[in-house]
Structure 1
Amino acid sequence: MGPILLAFFLAALAWVLVAGAALRERHPVVFWYLTGYPLTVVRIVRTWRRVAQLNDFTVSRGPTRGLLGELVVTGDALKPIAPRISFPKATRTGASVEVRLHPGQTPAVFISAADALAHAWRVHAVRVTSPERGLVRLVATAGDPLKRPSLAAAPAAHLSALVGILESGGAWVMNLRKIPHWLIVGATQSGKSTLLARLVAQLAPQNVALVGVDCKGGMELGLFNPRLSALTTCRREAVAVLGALVTNLQDRMRVCRDAGVRSIWDLPAKERPVPVVVIVDELAELYLTDGTREAKAQAEQCSTYLLRIAQLGAALGVHLVVAGQRVGSDLGPGVTALRAQLSGRICHRVNDPGTAEMTLGDLNKDAVVVAQAITADEKGTAVCTGAEGGWDRARSHLTTPEEARRTAAKYSDLTPVLRDVHRALLLAATPEVES
């Protein structure tokens, strides 16, 4: 009976392992709740006191100085007391623990120990936040959700685009109503163009006018031309179109003033002008010049128009999405002023630390360090700001150029006509046609 029972036991164990592997592959959330979460709870509870002591989370009510004969001895007090923690709460991608701080403690020591906590609990990462004074929340992520980005469900909203997944497992949404203007940076092959393609594909079915500014001859944004209300391919055309949009802003201000409202969203739906999203691909092409007087004048005009749109566009339904391989003050004095108006920030892998600092440094220094750690193998991965402040690592959903092209063609009949913008573009293109 002994060998037979052993054989049955080994066979049962093999089936359990096979079933567990299949469950983990097909239903990772269910596998996490049934297997990963209980094991993680045990590790957190068993290791907390030791981890707290090793990472200086503990305090002691005893004195740190004492008398030894006629000598004063200084050292660590005995009987260290670890901060009190809540029972680990399960999430779809990990677990969260709340820590009640001792008087005088700050979240800084927990932030610096995040990697040590992840190692002790055998999880992918631990994020540290402080929702209120005296309280720290430790959010452990069991695995890296960015390796297999699936689209989490998110409510459909006007001027909102579901572009990928956050490291926390939530939906990565670019909501232009909440964050009206965005800055996207990334080196070649970092995922910047893929993100723009996803954004256009998500906005195409909506009641919105899309205006493309692509001074690289339209190579990138030209794929979406059927759904664009206007596409500029050189700086001269960009000056004309951006200038027409600024004039359009003034018309919208006049409508709001006459109606006694402060935003187009307060107007009746029938009187509300169509929202406009201006997508600028490669900002440097607008600012860098060959030194001629005409080129400098065009660059200054573009800078002024973009800044004007960023300052006034949020309430008037004109939004900016500005992308580039690098962003720095050396492009011109207007870049820093424009950056300050673009509250939405997305930083992919970049080639120079200055671009990451320019993109995220004024919001969060920790985010700069994380962005600089993105490797060439992590295509589509970025550090992004959230609607409620803070930042996250995220990865965009893969949208191929062909998919974006088909989507643009499918919804081409929804393309609004911006008559003043279209007229300005035709006038700017006329000299080029005649030559």
Structure 2
Amino acid sequence: MRRRTVISVAQSRRLRRVEVERAPRLGFIRPTRLGFRVGVRLHDGQTPEDYVRVLDKLAHAWKVHSVRLASWKPGKVVLVATLADPLAHVTLPVLSDGLLRVRVGLMDTGAPFVIDFRAIPHWLNVGATQSGKSNLANALFVGLAPQPVALVGFDLKGGVEFTPYEGRMSALATERDECAELLAGLIGIIKYRMALCRRHRVKNIWHPRLPEAARPMPLVLLVDEVAELFLMADPKAEKDAVAAVSTRLLRVAQLGRAFGVYLVVCGQRVGSDLGPGVTALRAQLTGRVCHMVNDDETAKMALGDMDPGAVVAAREISPAMPGTAVVIGSEGRWHRMRSAHVLEEQAEAAAAEYAHLAPSWAELTRGAVASDDLDPDEVDEFTAPDLEDLPV
């Protein structure tokens, strides 16, 4: 027998009263360090996205620097207003913030922006010349230098970016062929660590059951001018070399997290026209940092697959604010960020001071065999590590 749904008179009237474009019902206004926050009760038919679309209008109406949606729950959103731009002056005296954590800058919320490789293992950092991309890399290097972390560099500008820091690096490649060789070594390191985890019946090198004495040192690979890895002056002659580098780099990105191998990929221009390898690599780089760029394609490649609104914000970055970027991190929402200004001399001093912490490439690859091949059974077993196994 067919059942009929009965709608009461009260429900029917309520359905007819739904109207999205209505003035907000504001709650108590509470002061914050940078401005104020206010709760807003949603009318029937309204959603948080209705307020996201008019945040700029609210900022002008309230005569404040910016308004953002801080949080929401059914029927209510919380808006936070900032009276002045917190990114006008950024000072972070201490960059290192624990193992594989570096406070590289300040967010528009007033909170430090932290690159935490344990939370987000791989990052994409794009920006035009003089946008602050290299400064961010310097800040990251200074923060990682005093930590028990191995650093490996790919500097496709002929070594001018990372050579001054070579003393703290375990290896530095400046040509595509050298990068291909080091990537083969990194795949060998991953395979060796896979075998180590299998012997101890754990899914990643951070598992509590893995003895501390057996835990391998984490490794961060810094790649500058990634486009040079994929560009081909002569497609016939260079196609195989580019394919080898692309495949190896993608494998490192896919499997590195569980075995303590992390990526920071930097570039002035990163677009889909560089080939499918770049798009596939981009999918593995969950953390995104987009400084001022010269073209829409790079902004879309960095942010478009996560939040189209972030692309618009990135294209509005002023050249008068070097170091400013739109970032997407662990929250999955975009924010404006400005990195702390780190002089090259500071990074060079950190490289010299902590050079004794850098393991040699021979030490890192001891027991590992450079390889292009990964056993499909190993890949299936380890590509999705259980995050619950990570110690808090």
Q: Which TM-score band (shorter chain)?
A: 0.7 to 0.9
Amino acid at match of 2:169: L
Q: Which residue of 2 aligns with 1:326?
A: 269
Aligned length: 351
Task: State how far apart, in whole Å, the 2-side matches of 1:81 and 1:350 are.
Answer: 38
C-alpha contact 1:211 1:276 (8 A) present in aligned 2: yes
CA displacement, residues 261-310 of structure 1 (integer Å, 9 cap, x when unaligned): 00001122211111000000000111102215442222111111111011
Amino acid in structure 1 at the alignment position of 2:155: D
Q: Counterpart of 1:115?
A: 56
Give the corresponding residue for 1:283. 226
The residue aligned with 2:39 is: 98
Q: 1:137 is matched with which residue?
A: 78
State how 1:26-425 maps to structure 2 within 5 Å.
82-151=23-92, 156-266=97-207, 267-291=210-234, 293-419=236-362
Secondary structure of 2:338's counterpart equals strand
Distance in 1 separating the partners of 2:95 and 2:266: 25
TM-score by length of 1: 0.77
Question: Which SS does the other structure have where 1:87 is aligned?
Answer: strand
The answer (yes or no) to whether the contact 2:65–2:84 under 8 Å persists in 1 is yes
- Structure 1 Cα separation of the partners of residues 95 and 153 of structure 2: 27
Letter paired with 2:196: V
4+ aligned runs moved over 3 Å, structure 1:
60-64, 80-83, 152-155, 420-423
1:354 maps to a residue whose letter is E
Name the CA distance, whole Å, in 1 between partners of 2:305 and 2:192: 33
Between the aligned partners of 2:333 and 2:93, the Cα distance in structure 1 is 20
Q: What letter corresponds to residue 149 of structure 2 in structure 1?
A: V
Distance 2:95 2:74 in 1: 31
The 8 Å contact of residues 152 and 171 in structure 1, kept in 2 or not, is answered as no
Query: Shift in Å at residue 256 of structure 1?
Result: 0.2
Provide the C-alpha distance between the structure 1 equivalents of 2:237 and 2:118, rounded to a whole number of angstroms.
37
| CA deviation after TM superposition for structure 1 residue 247, in Å | 0.9
Q: Which moved more, 1:412-421 or 1:324-333?
A: 412-421
Give the Cα separation in 2 of the matches to 1:284 and 1:200: 21
Find the aligned partners of 1:375 and 1:234 in 2 and give their Cα distance. Answer: 33
8 Å contact from structure 1 (residues 154, 171) kept in 2:
no
Please, which runs of 5 or more residues in structure 2 have no aligned partner? Answer: 1-12, 371-392
Q: Is the 8 A contact 1:201 1:404 kept in 2?
A: yes
SS of structure 2 residue aligned to 1:254? helix
**In the alignment, is the contact (CA less than 8 A) between 2:189 and 2:365 conserved in 1?**
no
Q: Deviations over 1:359-402 (max 9, x none)?
A: 10111111111001012111000001122221110000000111
The residue type equivalent to 1:263 in the other structure is: N
**Where does residue 57 of structure 1 map in the other structure?**
none
* Structure 2: distance between partners of 1:327 and 1:270: 40
Give the letter aligned to residue 403 of structure 1: Q
Alpha-carbon distance change, 378 to 248 in structure 1, aligned in 2, over 3 angstroms? same
Shift of 1:112: 2.4
Instruction: Check 1:109–1:413 CA distance in 2 against 1; reply closer, same or farther (3 A cut).
Output: same
The answer on whether the counterparts of 1:182 and 1:322 sit within 8 Å (CA) in structure 2 is yes
Q: Percent of pairs identical after alignment?
A: 50
Match for 2:191: what amino acid?
Q
Instruction: From the two aligned structures, give the one with the greater helix fraction.
Output: 1
Radius of gyration: which is bigger?
1
Q: Which moved more, 1:283-292 or 1:126-135?
A: 126-135
Q: Distance in 2 between matches of 1:155 and 1:196?
A: 14
Separation in structure 1 between the aligned mates of residue 77 and residue 96 of structure 2, nearest angstrom: 30
Partners of 1:88 and 1:61 in 2: how far apart? 29
TM-score by length of 2: 0.85
In structure 2, do the counterparts of structure 1 residues 364 and 152 end up closer, same or farther at CA, with 3 Å as the change threshold? Answer: farther
Partner SS for 2:28: coil
Write the distance in 2 (CA, Å) between the matches of 1:90 and 1:155. 31
Residue identity matched to 1:314: R
Equivalent pair of 2:168/2:357 in contact (CA under 8 Å): yes
TM superposition shift of 1:403: 0.8
Contact 1:241 1:421 in 2 (8 A): no
- Could you tell me which amino acid in structure 2 is paired with residue 181 of structure 1? H
- Is residue 382–residue 393 contact of structure 1 (8 Å, CA) maintained in 2? yes
Q: How far does the alpha carbon of each residue in 1:205-230 deviate from its partner, in whole angstroms, 9 at most, with x for none? A: 00000000012211101121110000
Flag the structure with more relative contact order, 1 or 2, with Cα contacts below 8 A and sequence separation at least 6.
Answer: 2
Which amino acid is 1:274 matched to? M
Give the corresponding residue for 1:3.
none
